[in-house]
Amino acid sequence: MKPTIYDVAKEAKVSIATVSKVINKTGSISDPTRKKVNKVIQRLNYKPNVVASALTKKQTDSLALIIPDISNPFFSEISRFIEDKAHEMGLTLFICSTDYNEEKEKRYIELLQSKQADGFIIASGFQNIHLVEEFHQNNIPVTLLAQDNLTESFNVVSVDDYRGGFLAINHLISLGHQNIAVIAEKVHSSTLRLHAYRDLLGMHGMPVSEENVIRTTASIQNGEKAMLGLLQKEDRPTAVFAANDILAVGALKAARSLGLEVPKDISVIGFDNMILSTTTVPELTTVAQPIKDMADKIVDVLIRQIKMPHLATERTLFVPELIVRESTAQPPKHLKN
Amino acid sequence: MKPTIYDVAKEAKVSIATVSKVINKTGSISDPTRKKVNKVIQRLNYKPNVVASALTKKQTDSLALIIPDISNPFFSEISRFIEDKAHEMGLTLFICSTDYNEEKEKRYIELLQSKQADGFIIASGFQNIHLVEEFHQNNIPVTLLAQDNLTESFNVVSVDDYRGGFLAINHLISLGHQNIAVIAEKVHSSTLRLHAYRDLLGMHGMPVSEENVIRTTASIQNGEKAMLGLLQKEDRPTAVFAANDILAVGALKAARSLGLEVPKDISVIGFDNMILSTTTVPELTTVAQPIKDMADKIVDVLIRQIKMPHLATERTLFVPELIVRESTAQPPKHLKN
DNA sequence: GTGAAAGCGCTAACAC
DNA sequence: GTGTTAGCGCTTTCAC
């Protein structure tokens, strides 16, 4: 049997309260007894049972991170930073992948409530926002990651999507592109990036053709498919803004499969700056999210909310950054006006 | 306050024992009372507190997965399958990234023991195997993933690394390559892949030059560096076997940076078949691990061990598969003998 | 078919 | 500085 606090107390000839105090460094304990107790703990290889302490303290020191898919590099990269920060703060992390599926969202959220997670981080791509609203009613701390929800007042940590879209399109326009298409996801963040697209085109007196905006789900294949559609149009765009790097990678593949050279024949810009964007040929020009800063911030915000539930809601927008690599250039000469 | 089993019992005018029985579908409960209780559970939105039940049952229904780095696509992909399988079996997963760091390994293992994880999956790349041996002594169920440890008898699920190396090198040799280099990791699985390399070269009467085997840690940069070294040699290899796709991607980048064309000037083959290997140009020829099968199997094995601790140890080797894509071809003519 | 009660391993209030 | 004790919310005998 694993040793319990009773075993330690008996061996050290003190009470369990004393043992508890030396473990948690609470109360005041004389130096000799502390040493004595610690020695016994060592000798018995005693590990406090935190499920018992969680039951008494009514807090598990664990956080739930709900993402669409941990095998998607964007999410695995940011999860890693969140994990590090959480551990640094003494918390463990449950990570669950929901596949954009409302069933799974519901199941995981119930499960993690049962597991008494102290707080929840809901990443972008979460479908059923009603589920999250329930948290609010039940006073369960939640913070949204890169998911700007306007209807309810949640704590949010996100990148400034509009600004990011602006950066991307502005880069393309300043290179001289006049016919720019966009491949976006069907999520809110993509919508904001799209707004920047429309606004900027408008500002430059460029017409927005609805044929030039494709909405899809993030996957390399979908990026490929979307790009193929775009490239088969008569009035083919000279530049494509993919709302994330996964889609951009698909776009790159599609262009290549049609014998088109990027960026000579067509420019492609992504969003996210994940590892993928440096392994393509050409390397991807993209808009970087400061995911480490975002990860740190979101854990801080969530912890604050756990400790002080009635604090004002907080929305932190991080500034994205344009990373120019190889996949964007001036449009082909014969198409320039 | 969250409702407890007492609240449900009171509302339903039954005892907490009865409520417990309907929740867990144990004992025998009459249809009417079950319905009555369920209705109250519904109405109160009652969620059983599993930390309390974990305390009584002495089992948390959770597994620990210890990997080097969740942001490494190989691990995130396999983690995803393990997560799915675990959830299918009614278990939650703690995922921890240790960065090949013994300090972190120790910290996480202690933490997860405190959290009373029912079993541990230790992935390849784990440094301090002594830590794992302690599990054995303490009768804590462990299964190794893709880490074949010879000294102790652990349950192991792995790919047949030797066979994988064989497949890769054999492919290269049958294309006509005579001067083959290898970039391997400093882990056991890589060593096995290396054995295949040496054996196969020997079988074909090809000398093994130690200059042609580089050992490093998995990262794109290290792959790049290793490849650069290889390419600067006078007697430059015509083909390189990278012991995983991450290294192979680095190798591809290095070749490209030197103006070499893959596979025309030099062939590159990887190992793992992760998503990265389809986004490179050229797409990577590689050896695929059946990671879904491995994930399913490892969860099964671990659960079996949790339920029946004294079962014989089991080592399952999965058969890898050669995936020929674009990065391998015959060696340049002028170099062929 | 249902309930009373003991106990899982711990924390925290309180007494000494 | 240290110990006693009452829970935390649940499962599981064992009566009835």
Average pLDDT over residues B207-236: 94
Which percentage of chain B shows pLDDT scores above 90? 83
Residue B171 has pLDDT above 90, yes or no: yes
* Residue boundaries of the structural domains of chain A: 5-48, 62-160+291-318, 161-288
Yes or no: domain B5-48 corresponds to CATH 3.10.20.30: no
- pLDDT tens digits, residue range A33-44? 999 999 999 999
> Given A49, A71, A114, which is nearest B76 (Cβ)?
A71
Q: Is the pLDDT of residue B165 over 80?
A: yes
Write the pLDDT tens digit of every residue in A246-261: 999 999 999 999 999 9
CATH number of A161-288: 3.40.50.2300
Q: Which residue is nearest to nucleotide C7 (CA to C1')?
A: B56
- Higher-pLDDT residue of A313, A166: A166
Tell me the pLDDT band of B205, cut-offs 50, 70 and 90: very high
Q: Which residue is nearest to nucleotide D8 (CA to C1')?
A: A56
| pLDDT class of B188 with cuts at 50, 70, 90 | confident
* Cβ of A23 less than 7 A from strand C: yes
Interface of chain A against chain B, CB under 8 Å? Answer: 2, 45, 47-52, 54-55, 60, 69-71, 73, 76-77, 79-80, 83-84, 87, 92-97, 110-111, 113-116, 138, 220, 249, 253, 256, 275-276, 278-281
How many Å does it take to go from CA B56 to C1' C7? 8
* Global pTM exceeds 0.75: yes
Which residues of B spanning 6-25 put their CB closer than 7 angstroms to strand C? 13-18, 21
Q: With 70 as the cut, is the pLDDT of residue B151 above it?
A: no
Average of pLDDT values for B154-162?
94
Q: What is the mean pLDDT of residues A86-97?
A: 96
Question: In chain A, which residues have their Cβ closer than 8 Å to the Cβ of B73?
Answer: 71, 73, 76, 275
Nearest CA in chain B to A4: B114
- Which of the four pLDDT bands, split at 50, 70 and 90, describes residue A136? confident
The average pLDDT across B15-30 equals 94
| pLDDT band, very low/low/confident/very high, at A334 (cuts 50, 70, 90) | low
User: What is the nearest CA distance from A294 to chain B, expressed in angstroms?
Assistant: 16
- pLDDT at residue A9 in the model: 96
- Closest residue (CA to C1') to nucleotide C2 in the complex: B18
pLDDT tens figures, A304-326: 999 998 888 899 999 999 999 99
Over residues B18-36, the mean pLDDT reads 94
Chain A residues inside the 8 Å CB shell of B256: 281
Of the CA atoms within 13 Å of residue B200, those in its CB half-sphere come to: 26
Mean pLDDT of A194-218: 95
Does pLDDT of B179 surpass 90? yes
Task: Answer whether A73 sits within 8 Å of B70, measured CB to CB.
Answer: no
Spell out the SS3 assignment of chain A.
Answer: CCCCHHHHHHHHCCCHHHHHHHHHCCCCCCHHHHHHHHHHHHHHCCCCCHHHHHHHHCCCCEEEEEECCCCCHHHHHHHHHHHHHHHHCCCEEEEEECCCCHHHHHHHHHHHHHCCCCEEEEECCCCCHHHHHHHHHCCCCEEEECCCCCCCCCEEEEECHHHHHHHHHHHHHHCCCCCEEEEEECCHHHHHHHHHHHHHHHHCCCCCCHHHEEEECCCHHHHHHHHHHHHCCCCCCCEEEECCHHHHHHHHHHHHHCCCCCCCCCEEECCECCHHHHCCCCCCEEEECCHHHHHHHHHHHHHHHHHCCCCCCCEEEECCEEECCCCCCCCCHHHCC
Give B200 to chain A, closest Cα distance, Å. 31
Residues of chain B positioned with their CB less than 8 A from the CB of A51: 51, 54-55, 60, 115-116
Retrieve residue B332's tokens. 């340049």
Identify the CATH number of the domain defined by range B62-160+291-318: 3.40.50.2300
pLDDT surpassing 60 at residue A335? no
Query: What mean pLDDT do residues B20-31 have?
Result: 94
Q: pLDDT band at A276, cuts 50/70/90?
A: confident
Q: Read off the pLDDT of each residue in B45-56 and give the average, rounded to a whole number.
A: 96
* Residues A1-13: tens digit of each pLDDT: 899 999 999 999 9
Alpha-carbon distances, residue B269 vs A335, B169, B174, B323 (angstroms)? 40, 9, 13, 9
| pLDDT mean across residues, chain B | 94
A94: which strand partners?
A64, B94
Q: Report CB contact under 8 Å: A279, B280.
A: yes
Confidence at residue B102, expressed as pLDDT on a 0 to 100 scale: 96
Residue B30 Cα, gap to closest chain A Cα (Å): 26
Predicted confidence band at A150 (pLDDT cuts at 50, 70, 90)? low
Q: Average pLDDT for residues B154-183, to the nearest whole number?
A: 96
When the pLDDT of each residue in chain A is averaged and rounded to a whole number, the result is 93
Q: What is the predicted pLDDT for the residue at A336?
A: 45
What is the nearest CA distance from B162 to chain A, expressed in angstroms? 27
> Is the peptide bond prior to A282 cis by the omega test (within 30 degrees of 0)?
yes
**A97: nearest CA partner in chain B:** B80
With distances taken from each CA to the C1' atom of nucleotide D6, the closest residue turns out to be: A56
Tell me whether the CATH fold assigned to B62-160+291-318 matches the one assigned to B161-288. yes
pLDDT at site A256: 94
Lowest mean pLDDT among A78-82, A125-129, B106-110, B297-301: A125-129
Asked whether residue A148 carries a pLDDT value surpassing 80, the answer given is: no
Given a cut of 90, whether residue B76 has pLDDT beyond it is yes
pLDDT at B336 over 50: no
